[in-house]
Chains A and B, each alone.
Chain A
Amino acid sequence: MIAELVIFIILGIVAVSSAFAVILSKNPVYAVLFLVINFFALAMLYLVLSAQFVAFIQILVYAGAIMVLFLFVVMLLNLTGAIESLQDKLPAQRWLAPALGMVLLVEIAVVFLSGFFAQVPEASELPEGFGTSAPVGMLLFSRYVLPFEVTSAVLLIAMVGSIVLAKRRP
């Protein structure tokens, strides 16, 4: 209990501060690296929540593949010198966004802490092998086989679409 609380507090501070660093850093390269830190903190939280398979998929796919793609595009476009324009077309947005963000946070917190979600049971005994790759794979190929196949179609369409977008027009 105490150990889990300490781990949660450390990982929560790392996750929240790296998330704020992502949205506040001027240099997109630093933002990408802070986002990688955030993904690692979330992967550790998944491990605490005994979701081992998802935690390692998070590190492999998100922190590995997707972030490398981001970093590649940031360095390819060389946007580090590009300053965001000073004359903002929506100047009120900078002031309204934090206020409305606070409203959103309070709203999500109220939804989570009341009503339907208050019925979450707090049992701690898990079935054998919870969160390892074999049961997740069994579920993926039995009950969720149709979403799994649709996902492969989504990936194919994304692949074709990005090739068409990247092709130079003659």
Chain B
Amino acid sequence: MLPAYPYLILSAVLFTTGTLGVLIRRNPIIMFMSIELMLNAANLAFITFARYQQSMDGHVFVFIVMTVAAAEVAVGLGIIVAIFRLRGNINVDELDEMKG
């Protein structure tokens, strides 16, 4: 059986990829998908630790993270659709009315 480190490094690489996606892209839908990548990287770390600690608590946390991700996607995509209806485009650089 493999040690835990390869899985944890893969999780770190996926998390970093998601962070880069949020920072580089300007399309809010792709930024959302990058957030999903980050949540999944965290889930992989949860499952890895659950396997190597032989306790299933991590599985329950993955379950809850998935539920929160579903709620977040529903609300976030609703906001994107509402902004698109109002403005006709969804470039995040032009949505700066709320800057402090």
A interface residues with partner B (beta carbon < 8 Å): 1, 4-5, 8, 12, 15-16, 19-20, 22-23, 28, 31-32, 35, 38-39, 42, 45-46, 49-51, 53-54, 57-58, 61-62, 65-66, 69-70, 73-74, 76-77, 79, 82, 84-85, 88-90, 93-94, 96-98, 100-102, 104-105, 108-109, 112-113, 117, 120-124, 126-127, 130-131, 135-136, 139-140, 143-144, 147-148, 151, 154-155, 157-159, 161-162, 165-166
Contacts and interface: CB of A to CB of B under 8 A. Distances in A.
Nearest to A156: B71
B90 A79 contact: yes
A32 B36 CA distance: 11
A28 B18 contact: no
Residues of B in contact with A, size category: 35 or more
Contacts of B47: 45-46, 49, 51, 54
Given A35-B33, A70-B32, A159-B74, A62 B66 contact: yes
Interface of B: 1-10, 12-21, 23-27, 29-30, 32-34, 36-37, 40, 43-44, 47-54, 56-57, 59-60, 62-64, 66-75, 77-82, 84, 89-91, 93-94, 96
The B interface, classified by DSSP as helix, strand, loop or mixed, is helix
7 interchain residue pairs of minimum CB distance? A23-B21, A158-B71, A165-B78, A97-B23, A162-B78, A108-B12, A105-B16
B33 A31 contact: yes
A66 B40 contact: no
Given A16-B14, A61-B66, A136-B60, A97 B51 contact: no
A120 B15 CA distance: 21
